Amino acid sequence: MHLTSEEEKIFNGEFGWAYQVSMRILVRLGELFGATQLIPIESAHISGVSYKTLGDAPIDFFESLVEAGGKVQVPSTVNPSSFDPEYLAKRFPEDYLKKQLHVVDLYEKMGIKPTLTCTPYYLRQPKLGCHLAWSESSAVIYANSVLGSWTNREGGPSALAAALIGKTPNYGVHKAENREANVLIEVKSTLRDETDFGALGIHVGKLLKNEIPVFEGLSRCTKDDLKQLGAGLASSGMTTMFHYQKKSIKEKLETVFVEADDIKNTIENLSTSFERSDLIFIGCPHCSLREIQRVAQALKGKKVKKGNELWICTSSHVRETAEKYVNIIKEADGHVLCNTCAVVTWIKKLGIDTMMTNSAKTAYYAPTLNEVDVTLASMTKCIEESCK
Amino acid sequence: MRVEVLRGRSIVSGRRRGLALVSRKPISFLGGVDPNSGLIIERDHDLKSECMKGRILCFPSGHGSTVGSYVLYSLAKKGLGPKAIINQTADPVVVAGAIIAEIPMIDQVDILQIETGDDVEVDGEKGFVKILKKKEDKKEK
C-alpha cells in the first residue's frame, strides 16, 4: 500500500500510540483486501457500544486509547447502548448501568457523539457519492443502496480506527467497479408490508455469497421498506449493497426467482412461537419519523392492554422531532425508548420469554442473542396484538 | 530432526518461541473464549477447555463478532493471551485483535503441518514459522 509521508509518520508512532495502532489496523486490513492507498472519509459510524453485547472486553482497549489522547478526525457516531435513560435504566442492576455509562463516556472522550442509534443517517444524511467508514450492517447497506454513499461493511475496531485517522483503505465498494449488480432477483410476489420486505432480505441473503443483487418486481417501496430489506439481507448474509431500480441492470444477469411461498415460508420459519407475546417490539432498525407517525396513527384512541408491553425504539434525535406522535403513543400506554432496542438489552432479565416484532432482522437474531421465542408480523398486526 | 520451515505472510511483527496449540476449527473470540482465563469455551470446539495462555495458537481463521478483536487485547493485557498467532487465512477480527494486542501473527501457513505440543518459533516480521521439535521427538527422549 502506498502511504503518504504523514501517514508513514503516524504508522511509525510519531503521533502517539492511539494513532499508530489505528493506522496499523487500516494498513494491514487494506493490504489484506488489496487496497493501494487510504482515502478520506466524511464520517464514521462505530458499532460495539451495548454492554449486554460487549461485556468488559473492549473497556481496557478504549481506556488505553483515551489515555494515549486518541481523538476522532471526522464526525463519528455510535450504535445503541443497552438501556434508555428513563424506562429501562431503573430496571437493571447499578453495576450494569455504571459499566455501560463508562463505555459511552470513553467514546465521548475520543470526541464521538453519543448518538446511540443504528440509524445515524436520520441525524445527518451523508452526501451522495462520499466515502464513509461505517459498521452496523443495516446502516452500511442502507447508506450504499438507498443514500448512494460508499462504505465497506466495517467491524467495530476498523470503523473506530478509521474515525481516529479520518481515512479508510480503498478496497471493496469504495471502487465503482465493485458496486455493479451481478445477480438479478426477480420477485414474483406482491410484498404487502415492511415485514415482507425484511423476509425477502433474509431469504435472499442466505442465497448470496458476495454478490450484489438487483431487485425487480418490488411493487411498492418506501425508504422504510428498503431499510427492512437491507437489514434482512445483511443479517442472513454478508451483502454490502443492493440495487432496486431497473436502470441498474446493465447486462444479462444470472436470475433468481422469489415466489410468494418463499416469503411466506421465511416468515413462518423465523417465527418460533405463536403464543401470546410478553413484549411487542417495533424499531429494528430504529424507527424513522414516518414509522413513529404510523404507530401513533394505529394507536390513536386505543390503549395497550394491561399486562401487554409495547416498545417503540428510536434515536433521541428522531424522538425529539416526533413529540406529537410520541405523546399519542404514551397516552396509549406504549413506551417510546431511545438509545437502545430489545436486541441489545437484557429482555430475558425483565421476564420476557416471547416477543412479537415486525422486524425480520430481530426475528433472525433474538432466539439466539436474547434466548426468546419470536413471532414475526407486520406493524399493523403488532399494534393490534398489543391492544388485544 | 531436521528443522522444518513453513513460509507464510507477515501480519504483525515480533519473534516468539513456544509450544503450539493447534485447532482445525475457526475460533470466535467473542463468546468462544473466556476473557478472564484464556480458556476456549465454545461448545463442540476441538480445543474446548484448552488454555491459549503462552501458546503459539494455530487455527484456520477467525469468525464471529468484530468485538472479538477487543477480547484479544483484553486477554493480552491480563497476560492470558497467546504468544503468537498462526492462521491459514487471516480475517479482519483476528488481524485487528493481534495488532492492538501486539501479538506476533502470520498467515497463509499450512497449519496441518503443525501439531499441538510442537516446539515452534514464529517470525512475524519475515513471515515464517520454524518447527524446532516435533511432539513425538520429545516423547522418545
Note whether A32 and A148 are same-domain residues. yes
* CA distances in angstroms from A45 to A1, A80, A163, listed in the order given: 24, 11, 8
Question: Domain span at residue A239?
Answer: 180-269
Tell me: pLDDT of A220 over 80: no
Largest Cα separation within chain A, whole Å, is 66
Record: contact A48-B70, CB cut-off 8 A: yes
Question: How many inter-chain contacts (A to B, CB under 8 Å) are there?
Answer: 69
Burial grade of A94 (CB within 10 A; 0-12, 13-18, 19 or more)? exposed
**In this predicted model, what pLDDT tens digit does every residue of A266-289 receive, in sequence order?**
999 999 988 899 999 999 999 999
| pLDDT (mean) for A188-204 | 96
User: With contacts defined as CB-CB under 8 Å, which chain B residues touch A24?
Assistant: 99
- Closest alpha carbon within chain A to B30: A54
Q: State yes or no: is B69 an active-site residue.
A: no
Q: Residue A109's Cα: distance from chain center in Å? A: 23
Q: What pLDDT was estimated at residue A238? A: 85
Neighbouring-strand partners of residue B31: none
DSSP 8-state assignment for residue B12: E
**In this predicted model, what pLDDT tens digit does every residue of A24-52 receive, in sequence order?**
999 999 998 999 999 999 999 999 999 99
Joined grid coordinates for residue A337: 425508548
Note whether A214 and A121 are same-domain residues. no
Dihedral angle over CA of B78, B82, B83, B84, nearest 10: -140
Record: contact B99-A24, CB cut-off 8 A: yes
Q: Which domain-ending residue is among A210, A237, A269?
A: A269
The candidate with the shortest Cα–Cα distance to A224, out of A364, A342, A379, A77, is A379
Tell me: pLDDT of B141 over 60: no
Q: How far is B60 from chain A (nearest CA, A)?
A: 16
ipTM above 0.85, yes or no: no
Interatomic CA distance for residues A230 and A200, integer angstroms: 9
**CATH no. of B7-135:** 3.50.30.10
The overall average pLDDT reported for chain A is 95
Q: Which of B61, B63, B69 to mutate to test the interface with A (most CBs of A within 10 A)?
A: B69
Q: Which domain-ending residue is among A144, A176, A208?
A: A176
Note whether A301 and A317 are same-domain residues. yes
User: With contacts defined as CB-CB under 8 Å, which chain B residues touch A21?
Assistant: 99-100
For A103, other C-beta atoms within 10 Å of its C-beta total: 22
Record: contact B70-A60, CB cut-off 8 A: yes
**In this predicted model, what pLDDT tens digit does every residue of B7-22 receive, in sequence order?**
999 999 999 999 999 9
Q: Who contacts A123 (Cβ-Cβ below 8 Å, separation ≥6)?
A: A77, A115, A117, A315, A317
More confident residue, A140 or B137: A140
Record: contact B67-A54, CB cut-off 8 A: yes
- Which string of DSSP letters, residue by residue, matches B28-67? -HHHHB-TTT-BB--TT-TTTT-B-TTSEEEES-B-S-TT
User: Into how many domains does chain A fold?
Assistant: 3
User: Is the N-terminal amide bond of A58 cis, ω within 30° of 0?
Assistant: no
- Closest alpha carbon within chain B to A57: B71
**In this predicted model, what pLDDT tens digit does every residue of B62-112 receive, in sequence order?**
987 888 999 999 999 999 999 999 999 998 899 999 999 999 999 999 999
Note whether A169 and A211 are same-domain residues. no
Q: What pLDDT was estimated at residue A246? A: 79
| pLDDT (mean) for A72-87 | 96
Note whether A259 and A366 are same-domain residues. no
**In this predicted model, what pLDDT tens digit does every residue of A298-354 receive, in sequence order?**
999 999 999 999 999 999 999 999 999 999 999 999 999 999 999 999 999 999 999
Note whether A263 and A334 are same-domain residues. no
pLDDT band at A200 (very low <50, low <70, confident <90, very high): very high
Q: What pLDDT was estimated at residue A143? A: 98
Note whether A18 and A118 are same-domain residues. yes
User: With contacts defined as CB-CB under 8 Å, which chain A residues touch B124?
Assistant: none
pLDDT band at B1 (very low <50, low <70, confident <90, very high): low
Tell me: pLDDT of B140 over 60: no
Q: Which domain-ending residue is among A204, A239, A269?
A: A269
Pairing of strands B56-59, B15-22: parallel
| pLDDT (mean) for B42-51 | 92
Note whether A29 and A160 are same-domain residues. yes
Note whether A151 and A25 are same-domain residues. yes
Identified catalytic residue from B10, B37, B61, B65: B65
Q: How far is B139 from chain A (nearest CA, A)?
A: 39
Record: contact A28-B99, CB cut-off 8 A: yes
Record: contact A155-B96, CB cut-off 8 A: yes
What percent helix, strand, coil does chain A show, rounded to 5? 45, 15, 40
pLDDT band at B137 (very low <50, low <70, confident <90, very high): low
Report yes or no: A382 and A271 within 8 Å, Cβ to Cβ. no
- Closest alpha carbon within chain A to B75: A57
The candidate with the shortest Cα–Cα distance to A73, out of A167, A200, A159, A8, is A167
Record: contact B96-A157, CB cut-off 8 A: yes
pLDDT band at A215 (very low <50, low <70, confident <90, very high): very high
Note whether A97 and A167 are same-domain residues. yes
Record: contact A32-B71, CB cut-off 8 A: no
Largest Cα separation within chain B, whole Å, is 44
Tell me: pLDDT of A193 over 80: yes
Tell me: pLDDT of B138 over 60: no
- Closest alpha carbon within chain A to B68: A57
Q: What pLDDT was estimated at residue A210? A: 82
Q: Which of A10, A28, A107 to mutate to test the interface with B (most CBs of B within 10 A)?
A: A28
Joined grid coordinates for residue A116: 446511540
Report yes or no: A277 and A356 within 8 Å, Cβ to Cβ. yes
Tell me: pLDDT of B123 over 60: yes
The candidate with the shortest Cα–Cα distance to B30, out of B8, B63, B52, is B63
pLDDT band at A216 (very low <50, low <70, confident <90, very high): very high
User: With contacts defined as CB-CB under 8 Å, which chain A residues touch B30?
Assistant: 57
Note whether A155 and A10 are same-domain residues. yes
Q: What is the CATH number of the domain that holds A132?
A: 3.30.499.10
Note whether A138 and A51 are same-domain residues. yes
Q: What pLDDT was estimated at residue A70? A: 98
